A and B are shown apart, each in its own frame.
Chain A
């Protein structure tokens, strides 16, 4: 009898599961992206028409560009806000650390749609903010109603907990004594941060950036309800291809484009993350 290696026995089922339920469907839409749809049916005549439409029609380019800019701005805002917050929880949270992090996750118990509707209820025409302004005789803040700014606030609202958690998970394995060493050797707090804390926790930041950027790029619900009439995003259009219009082949091609960006993010991470220097995985130890 041959013994199964323990690593295969333990990690094998999970890897196999992900291969079957993630990779196979992705390969399927890759294949469909070269097919043709006619009255809701897919026909396997191989062609590049879907990609030609995607890259020549101005509307799709606008959707993609709009989603890209939105995702970049949101990621940057989340990054700036999440770092001090995660740092505080990891370093000064003490015994309540877990509770403080769980408090960031608890809003997820309320569905995305309800939270977005609530944001609308706070920012919208009849909402809390504008109602309060009205009481003082002030005009409503138009910038908060059905604008790209409102959609960005919505995205930050939805995704900033991911960024904080990713950075936090990295920082809990970071040895803060290193900062003492840096201080003894004459580094000021900022220099110590830039030369020690930031690079040693880059993997947490990178994962956080990916966790914000990727869903934001594909976002469909938030721009639809907060972004106003001229906020059609790539994700919204993609969802329509599989719903209302039933053009599955074109939708598959859009999915492939979306996935190409995921690969790009992954590649950037692959080049910049050094597992041996990351406290997060501790992979350098052995």
Chain B
């Protein structure tokens, strides 16, 4: 028997799922446009369609793009790894060892969320260039990006670990496991999906960052700064081609994840049935 309340609940649920669907359409329309435009002959007036793969050939011929991609990858990986390490250690510290300083530590880790990227960019530029006399370099870019990345990673790991049951770890310790071994064999297998999520988010943020990287790098090209530079003369279709390839890879990974979740081989932290 379904009551009136259940039916209303069903309608609300349907309405929410429609909103979610529309959000995906809104978010992916420009992505599809990028993929479409990467195959079109004229990027400024891409309609009606006329297809070519020139952009892809040009992409692999021009070394500027491979340099930019390499630098973006270095910044993304460096910042992603740093952020995940700092954030995970911080979250475990805050959750396992309650202290009166906990609120202060939380504020310190989350503070970067309250500083705009532009401000992180220009302030580290001002600090490095004027006070330390450093020219633009990859290390400052990695560090400045990792500030923001650490805050996001902290938020993500904290949200997932709040409900983690530390008694398992305590049990391992009672049986003589060292803290490090305990982390490696008990904690990590249980929490890796959230660490992976944190790494992924901090990687993407740094990989594609314009405003932090731009001010910290000087003349060193990254993908966003090449895009920014080429805007003056109109965007190169090669960048669309590269974005299309990236998206293809991302969707392949998602499809794989979907299959793994569907069959229940890997649950990615989901504890239900």
Interface residues of A (CB under 8 A from B): 5-11, 13-15, 17-19, 21-22, 24-26, 28-29, 32, 42, 81, 84-85, 87-89, 92, 94-100, 102-115, 117-119, 121-122, 126, 128, 131, 157, 160-161, 164, 166, 169-170, 172-173, 189, 207, 210-211, 214-215, 217-218, 220-221, 225, 235, 238-239, 242, 248, 251-252, 255, 258-259, 262-263, 265-266, 275, 280-283, 286
B105 beta carbon closer than 8 Å to chain A: yes
B65 within 8 A of A: no
| B interface residue count range (under 10 / 10 to 19 / 20 to 34 / 35 or more) | 35 or more
Contacts of A110 in B (CB 8 A): 30-31, 34, 208, 243, 246-247
Residues of B near A11 (CB, < 8 A) are 89-90, 93-94, 105, 109
A85 near B23 (CB under 8 angstroms)?
yes
Contacts of A172 in B (CB 8 A): 159-160
Beta-carbon nearest neighbor of A24 in chain B: B127
- Residue-wise, chain B 1-23 has the 8 Å CB interface mask toward A (1 for contact) of 00001001100110111011001
Q: Which residues of A contact B243 (CB under 8 A)?
A: 109-111, 114
A161 smallest CB distance to B (angstroms) = 7
Assess whether A22 is in contact with B111, with CB atoms less than 8 Å apart.
Answer: yes
Q: Residue B136 at the A interface, CB < 8 A?
A: no
B211 within 8 A of A: yes
B155 at the interface (CB under 8 A from A): yes
Q: Which residues of B contact A100 (CB under 8 A)?
A: 20
Chain A hits for B26, CB < 8 A: 157
**Contact assessment for B123 and A103 in the assembled complex, using a CB-CB cutoff below 8 Å:** no
Nearest A residue to B201 via CB reads A105
Between B23, B110, B118, the greatest number of chain A beta carbons within 10 A of the residue's beta carbon is seen for: B118
Q: Are A28 and B126 in contact (CB under 8 A)?
A: yes
| Max chain A Cβ within 10 angstroms of own Cβ: one of B24, B28, B130, B272 | B130
The listed residue (B46, B113, B120) touching A210 by CB distance below 8 A is B113
Q: Contacts of B272 on A, CB cut-off 8 Å?
A: 94-95
Evaluate contact between A113 and B130: CB separation under 8 angstroms: no
Q: Which of A117, A122, A242, A275 contacts B215 (CB 8 A)?
A: A242
21 contacts between A and B (CB under 8 A): A7-B99, A11-B89, A14-B150, A18-B111, A22-B111, A26-B119, A88-B20, A102-B254, A111-B210, A115-B30, A117-B235, A126-B44, A173-B159, A214-B114, A218-B116, A220-B118, A221-B210, A252-B122, A258-B119, A262-B115, A275-B103
Contact between A238 and B89, CB atoms less than 8 A apart: no
Q: A189 CA to B4 CA in the complex, in Å?
A: 13
B174 contacts partner chain A, Cβ-Cβ < 8 Å = no
Chain B contacts for A15, CB-based, 8 A: 90, 105, 108-109
Contact B29 A122 (CB under 8 A): yes
Report Cα–Cα, A161/B24, bound state, in Å: 10
Given contacts A87-B16, A98-B268, A259-B115, contact A126 B127 (CB under 8 A): no
Contact indicator A22/B44 (Cβ below 8 Å): no
Docked complex Cα distance between A25 and B20 (Å): 40
B199 within 8 A of A: no
Given the complex of chains A and B, what is the CA–CA distance between A26 and B247 in angstroms? 36
Q: Indicate if the CB atoms of A13 and B86 lie closer than 8 Å.
A: yes
Residues of B within 8 A of A105 (CB): 200-201, 204
* Cβ of B87 under 8 Å from chain A: yes
Contact of A280 among B28, B159, B251, B254 (CB under 8 A): B159
Which of B55-63, B184-192, B221-229 is the contact stretch? B221-229
CB distance from A249 to the nearest CB of B (A): 10
Asked whether any CB of chain A lies closer than 8 Å to the CB of B240, the reply is yes
Q: Is the CB of A215 within 8 A of B240?
A: no
Kindly identify which residue among A95, A210, A251 contacts B122, using a CB–CB cutoff of 8 Å.
A251
Known: A15-B90, A112-B210, A169-B155. A265 touches B111 (CB 8 A): no
**CB of B47 closer than 8 Å to a CB of A:** yes
The contact string, 1 if C-beta is below 8 Å from chain A, for chain B 94-135, is 101111011101101111111111111011111110110000
Check if A157 sits within 8 Å of B27, measured CB to CB.
Answer: yes
Q: Are A218 and B119 in contact (CB under 8 A)?
A: yes
In the complex the two chains form, is A259's CB within 8 Å of B159's CB? no
Considering only residues 22-78 of chain B, those with a C-beta below 8 Å from chain A are 23-24, 26-31, 33-34, 37, 44-47
Q: How far is the CB of A216 from chain B (nearest CB, A)?
A: 9
Q: A18-B108, A113-B228, A255-B119 are in contact. Are A160 and B23 (CB under 8 A)?
A: yes
Most chain B CB atoms below 10 A, which of A18, A92, A166, A251: A18
Determine the chain B residues whose CB is within 8 A of the CB of A10 once the complex forms: 89-90, 92-93, 96-97
Chain A residue contacts of B200, Cβ below 8 A: 102, 105
